[in-house]
Chain A
Amino acid sequence: MLMFTLRRLSLFFFTMVLLSMLTFSLRYFFPGDMLINLSGQINANTAELKQLAIDYKIHESIFSQYWQYLTNIFHGNLGLSMASQLPISTEISTLLPATIELSIIALTIAMVMGIPLGFIAAIYHRKKIDNIILTFAIVGHSFPVFWLGLLVILIFSIQLAWFPSAGDISLLFEIPQQTGFLFIDILLSNSPYKWQAFNSALAHIFLPASVVALAPATVFIRLARTSMMEVLETSYIQAAKTKGLSFIQIIYHHAIRNALIKMIRHIGLQFANLITFVMITEVIFSWPGIGRWLIVSIGQRDYTAIQNGLLVLSIFIFVVHIFTDFIYAALNPLAREHNHGS
C-alpha cells in the first residue's frame, strides 16, 4: 500500500508540473500585452509597468520566468481579475467551494441513482426491467444539459414553483463565510435561523444538482450494467452457486464488490465530463461557482481569470482522479500490490 501511495503521489507531482507548464505557456498565446494579461492591472502607468516587468522577471530567461510563475502560485499571488479588479485568489476561494459542493452532490446523486439501477438491469438481463432501464439510460443520455436545465426551470420553478431557480441560498439569510462551503458554513454559523437556511440551501441545490447528475447517471447505469453482467459470468460466481449460496447472498457478498471494482475508475474518468456539465448548469442557474465565473470571464476576455480558473479546475479534477484511484485500491486487493502496470 505504501508503494501504491508513493506511486500515486509521484504521478500527482509530475502531472502538476506538466499542468503548470501548460498554463504557463498560455501567456504566450493570449493577445494583448503580456504583463497586463498576467497581472490584470489594466490601468497601470509606465512606472507600474516597469515594476511589474521586474516582478514577473519578464526580461530574464524563460526558466526564471517559470520559476517566478510557480512562486507566485504558491504565494497565492495570482493577479487581479481584469473585469472586477479583485484579486483572483479571493475570487477563487469563494467560488470554488460552491462548485465543489455542486459537483460532489451531483456525483453522489448520479451514483446513488445510476449504479443500483445498472445492477438491477444486469440481474434481470433480457427481461422487461432491463429494457426499461436501458431505454431510460439512452433517453436520459441524449438530453442536452442546457435544454434540460431550462426545461426544469420552466416546469419546477415557474409553473409549479416548487424550487427556486437561481442562486445557492435565499437572499434573506446572511451566512458568514468561514470555509466557503455553504452547507458547512451554515452548520457552523450560530444564526437562529440555521435550519431554515439549511433547507433553503437544499432547495436551491436540488434542481441544478439533478440536472448535472442526469447524464452521468445514465453513463453509470450502462457501466454498472456491463460490469455486473461480466461479473455474473465469471467462474467464481458459478462456483459460488454450487456452494449452495442463495442468489441474493451471491450478489451481496461477491458480485457487487467486484462489479464496483470494475467500474470505479470509469467513475473517476467521468468526473471531467461532469465538470463541464456543472459549468453549463452554473450559468443557467446563476450558481455562484467557478464554472460560471470562467465562462463569463471568457466572454469578457478576462485573460488573468481564464488562466488561473483553468489551472484550479484542472487541479480539482485531477485530485478527484487520484482519490478514486485510492478507493479503487482499497476495494481491490490486486491493485494494492501490483508493482507494474496499472
Chain B
Amino acid sequence: MNLLDIRNLSIELKTKTGVILAIDRVSLTMKEGEVRGLVGESGSGKSILAQAIMGVLDDRWQVHADRFHWRNIDLLSLTHQQQKDIISQDVAMIFQEPMACLDPSTTVGEQLEEAVPDHQLTGFFWQKNKQRKLAVINLLHKVGIKNHTKCYRSYPHQLTEAFCQRVMIAIALAKKPLLLIADEPTAAMETTNQGQIFRLLASLNQLKNMSILLISHDLENVTHWTNNITVMYSGQFVEAGTTEQIFNTPYHPYTQALLESSPKANIELPPKSRLTTLPGSIPVLQHLPIGCRLGPRCPRAQKICVQAPKTTNYHGHQVNCHYPLKEIY
C-alpha cells in the first residue's frame, strides 16, 4: 500500500512583486517500509516540499496538487487543520542543525516528555508522569543513548550535534511514526557521526518498518542507504527510480551530471584536473527559466525544451526530459 501518494504538487510563493512558482508539479510516492532519497542541490526546493508534506508552511506559501493521498485518505478534501492532524499523527521530521531545533532554555528531558502523545499512556493521571518518564527513557535507549539520566537533565547546548540529532530522532520516534522525513540529518557533522546516524536510521527502518524520506544534496552518499531515489532540480521533478536505476543508468542529463561531478566517478582523471560539472549555477527563485529549468545549463537542450517536458515512465524509472539518455545504455 502506498503510504504517501503525491501527484503534480505545486507550491507558489506570494511575494510583493508577484507569485513565484517555487515547486513545479513534483510527484512523489512512498511505500511502507521504503527508504527513499530526495536529492537536489540547495535551492532545489526539497526542504519546502518536505515542509509542505508536514503542513507547516506559513500562509505566504500556496500548495496545489492533483493528488495528495496519505494511506488512501484524500487529504485535499479535508481542511488544513484536519490535514495537519492526520499528518502529524503519523509523520515525524528531523532537521539539519539539530541543536538549533531544540529549545535552548528547556531540558532535553522535558522536550522529550511533551513529545510523548497522551493516548500512549494508559492508567490514571497520577501514574501518567511516571509512565511518561519511562517512555522517554525507553526512547533514549532506542536511539542508542545509554546514559539516560544525564541526557535527561542536560540542556541542548551541553550536548554535541550528533547527540542532539539522536535526541531529535527520539522525539520523532515518540509518536511511533510510519514515515520519518529526515532533512539533511547529518549536514555539518563529522563522518563517523554521520555513519552512526545513518546506521541508526537504517536499523529503525528495518526493525520498525518505518519509512524514511531522506533529503540530501549528496547523491552518492544517499545511494548507500536508500531503496529508491527522487531527484529534483530548481523546484522541478527530474528523475525517480530505484537506487540502481538512478546510480547505474541515469536517464536525465542532470542526474548524469550529478554523478559525474563526484570524485568517485572521476577516478581515472589525472591529478589536479577539474571535475566535470555543468556550466553555471542553479537559478535564483526570481529568475527561473521557462520550460525545463535545466535548459540554460543542459548539454542536450534543444528548441523544444522551452516547453516543460512531460514525465515518461520506463518500467518504474520516471524521467522528466525531452531527450532522455535512454539510448546510450
B97 contacts across to A, CB distance below 8 A? 235
**Is the CB–CB distance between B155 and A243 below 8 Å?**
no
In the bound assembly, the distance between CA atoms of A235 and B97 in angstroms comes to: 9
Tell which of A149-157, A249-257, A290-298 binds the partner.
A249-257
Q: In the complex, how many angstroms separate the beta carbon of B57 from the nearest chain A beta carbon?
A: 10
| Cross-chain contact of A235 among B101, B155, B171 (Cβ < 8 A) | B101
User: Is B254 an interface residue, CB under 8 A from the partner?
Assistant: no
> Which partner residue on chain A sits nearest B85 by CB separation?
A244
**Is the CB–CB distance between A244 and B89 below 8 Å?**
yes
A238 contacts across to B, CB distance below 8 A? 56, 95, 101
Q: Could you mark each residue 152-165 of chain B with 1 if its beta carbon is under 8 Å from any beta carbon of chain A, else 0? A: 00010100000000
| Cross-chain contact of B104 among A243, A245, A249, A334 (Cβ < 8 A) | A334
A244 contacts across to B, CB distance below 8 A? 88-89, 117, 175
User: Is A331 an interface residue, CB under 8 A from the partner?
Assistant: yes
Q: Could you mark each residue 39-83 of chain B with 1 if its beta carbon is under 8 Å from any beta carbon of chain A, else 0? A: 000000000000000101000000000000000000000000000
A261 contacts across to B, CB distance below 8 A? 105
Interface size class of A (residues with CB under 8 A): 20 to 34
Q: In the complex, how many angstroms separate the beta carbon of A8 from the nearest chain B beta carbon?
A: 20
User: Is B100 an interface residue, CB under 8 A from the partner?
Assistant: yes
> Which partner residue on chain A sits nearest B91 by CB separation?
A242
**Is the CB–CB distance between A234 and B157 below 8 Å?**
no
Given contacts A241-B56, A242-B92, contact A258 B171 (CB under 8 A): no
CB interface residues, A 239-294, toward B, < 8 Å? 239-245, 249, 253-254, 257-258, 261
Q: In the complex, how many angstroms separate the beta carbon of A124 from the nearest chain B beta carbon?
A: 13
> Which partner residue on chain B sits nearest A245 by CB separation?
B114
CB interface residues, B 110-149, toward A, < 8 Å? 114-115, 117
User: Is B282 an interface residue, CB under 8 A from the partner?
Assistant: no
Q: Could you mark each residue 168-180 of chain B with 1 if its beta carbon is under 8 Å from any beta carbon of chain A, else 0? A: 1001000100000
Chain A residues in the interface with B (C-beta under 8 A): 234-236, 238-245, 249, 253-254, 257-258, 261, 331-334
Further pairs besides A239-B93, A243-B88, A253-B106: 7, Cβ < 8 Å: A236-B100, A242-B88, A244-B89, A245-B114, A257-B105, A333-B155, A334-B104
Chain B residues in the interface with A (C-beta under 8 A): 54, 56, 88-89, 92-93, 95, 97, 100-106, 114-115, 117, 155, 157, 168, 171, 175
5 A-B residue pairings within 8 Å (CB atoms):
A239-B95, A240-B103, A241-B56, A249-B114, A261-B105
